[in-house]
Amino acid sequence: MSNNDIKAIVLAAGKGVRMESDLPKVFHEILGRPMLAYVLDTLMDLEIDDIYVVVGHKKELIIEYFEGWPLQFVSQDQQIGTAHAVMQAKAALAGFSGTVLVLNGDMPLISKKTIFKMLQLHAKNSASATVLTAKLNEPGSFGRIIREANGEVIKIVEAKDASPEELKVNEVNTGTYCFDAESLVSALEDVKAENVQKEYYLTDTIEILKEKEEKVFAYCTDNPIEAMGVNTKDELGKIESLLSA
């Protein structure tokens, strides 16, 4: 699989209400750089040329900061879910039959090695989708990964919807995925906003693909710290400590 066969979509549209600031969440700085820059650096280290950044809240700040970077920006004017965010890049996927990598702009610790290994597993299995997962001692509110005996993913179940048995599972969804482009576009068209938040969730594409009897796998990182996202200033401080160590 050459890197010409990969397009990356980075989700960076959110405000991040719990950050207690009006800045876009991914624009908060870690060691003097926006956290989004760390994710983009990793993609460029992988020599992925087609990188689409989905921006929304105060998007002009992000677009101006990254002027001159080899990026393409797509606007999500209403922040109504991760699947809706990916759909904003749909025009870029027209006629593309390679792999689409979807990442969150608020996961600055994700490594080149982990993404590469996930892409390798995805290609080896000729999967429609591959989810990056992590095993946590305290999985808390993360969505749980329910697998079949052969390692294929059955579903991702949100913690609030999980049975007591499913809550015992400590392998969780990090929100990072590889998709076969055509399978992704097809599944996105079937995502419905039938939830309390009335949002379109990317996790729903996994169940849609399974219903179509397509193959879904998961790559579990051996370094769960990489799955740390930033939702609060406290979490921002923890990641800053890790990066400055």
Q: Output the CA angle 100-83-218, nearest 5 degrees.
A: 55
Give the span between the Cα atoms of 60 and 95, in whole angstroms. 29
42-70 pLDDT, tens digit per residue, is 999 999 999 999 999 999 999 999 999 99
173-200 pLDDT, tens digit per residue, is 999 999 999 999 999 999 999 888 899 9
Is residue 3's pLDDT more than 80? no
Look at residue 4 in the predicted model and tell me its pLDDT.
Answer: 73
Is residue 20's pLDDT more than 90? no
Average pLDDT rounded to a whole number, residues 207-231: 95
What do you get for the CA distance between the two ends of the chain, in Å? 35
Average pLDDT rounded to a whole number, residues 111-123: 97
Q: Which of 18, 33, 144, 147 is catalytic?
A: 18
Look at residue 70 in the predicted model and tell me its pLDDT.
Answer: 97
Q: Is 211 exposed, middle or buried (0-12, 13-18, 19+ CB in 10 A)?
A: exposed
Which CATH number is 3-244 given? 3.90.550.10
Smallest CA-to-CA distance from 170 within 148, 132, 140 is with 140
Q: Is 33 a catalytic residue?
A: no
